[in-house]
Amino acid sequence: MSEHVATVAWQRGDQTFVDNRYHRAHRWTFDGGAEVAASSSPSVVRPPLSDPAGVDPEEAFVASLSSCHMLWFLFFAAQAKHLVDSYEDAAVGTIGKTAAGKTGFTRVTLRPRVTLAGGGVIEADELKRLHHEAHAHCFIANSVTAELVVEPR
């Protein structure tokens, strides 16, 4: 199989820390060199201790599912000779109580909008098939227990 590497780094600086009033801003660095400003979610830790401009782990989870699904969708669309011009997803993750009684993602809804070249249209059954194939092959979707729903727009 394969390995995928990310380095997550945070530094205390001159903060007291033990009073639990420390900043949550940190950096994600990936093996290809990309760096992302990250933080806890402002809905979990209020600013200024979190940085709303940083990507939080919950957003990253939703984006990861959406991105994986998109990449597989594009692969299968290309195989089917559909000339895709753009793909945009307004993905939403919902956190609540899981079946185990813990707080976690209970649902992620993907709302992809696919635009074909020249105003082309993918028939509804074909679009459903492509999204089904993408979902079945997405490594991230295959790794989670939250309900993942695809609602093409």
Q: What is the pLDDT of residues 62-96, one digit of tens each?
A: 999 999 999 999 999 999 999 999 999 999 999 99
CATH number at residue 134: 3.30.300.20
Query: Are 37 and 82 contained in the same domain?
Result: no
Query: Are 4 and 78 contained in the same domain?
Result: no
| Averaged pLDDT for residues 122-150 | 95
Query: Are 41 and 87 contained in the same domain?
Result: no
**Token pair for 18:** 């033990």
CA–CA distance from 133 to each of 32, 59, 71, 97 (Å)? 28, 24, 11, 29
Q: Domain of 79?
A: 57-150
Is the pTM higher than 0.95? The answer reads no
* Size of the chain in residues: 153
Asked whether residue 153 carries a pLDDT value surpassing 90, the answer given is no
Distance CA 54, CA 8 (A): 13
Q: Could you say which of 40, 55, 70 is where a domain stops?
A: 55
Helix (H) or strand (E) holding 60: helix 57-79
Contacts of 15 (CB under 8 A, 6+ apart): 21, 22, 23
Query: Are 34 and 63 contained in the same domain?
Result: no
Q: For the chain, how many structural domains are there in total?
A: 2
